[in-house]
Amino acid sequence: MDYQNFLLTVLLTLACGLVALLLKNGKAELLRYVAHLVQEAETVIRGSGLGPEKKKWVIDQLEAAGVHGTAWLSRQIDLAVKSLNTHGAWLAGRTHRQLTGEEQDHE
């Protein structure tokens, strides 16, 4: 009987560890997708001062992919925008698009 309890404990521990690993990987993938969508929103909706419209577009894209908007997700979008602004990634993305011919600079 002790052997069965030990085996059951080990199996449950492994199952919990596997579930935690899958959730962690899923969360990391979701955050990468959010960052991608935030950058994409900058291309789809051009102009400054349009943050709320861009955020709505990101949330709409996530919901279309089956991800429901939550307060946590809203904060993650805000953090992605802040990170991209802090690191100047908007400019890097635009430069990449110009170099690859995806965007024509009309200035």
For position 53, what pLDDT does the model report? 92
Instruction: Provide, rounded to the nearest whole percent, the portion of the chain with pLDDT above 70.
Output: 72
| The pair of three-digit structure tokens given for residue 49, joined into one six-digit string | 């001062």
Read off the pLDDT of residues 62-84 as tens digits, 9 standing for 90 and up.
888 888 878 888 998 998 888 87
Average pLDDT for 73-99: 72
Instruction: Provide, rounded to the nearest whole percent, the portion of the chain with pLDDT above 90.
Output: 8
For position 56, what pLDDT does the model report? 92
Domain boundaries of the chain, sorted by first residue: 27-99
Handedness of CA 41, 44, 47, 49 (dihedral sign): negative
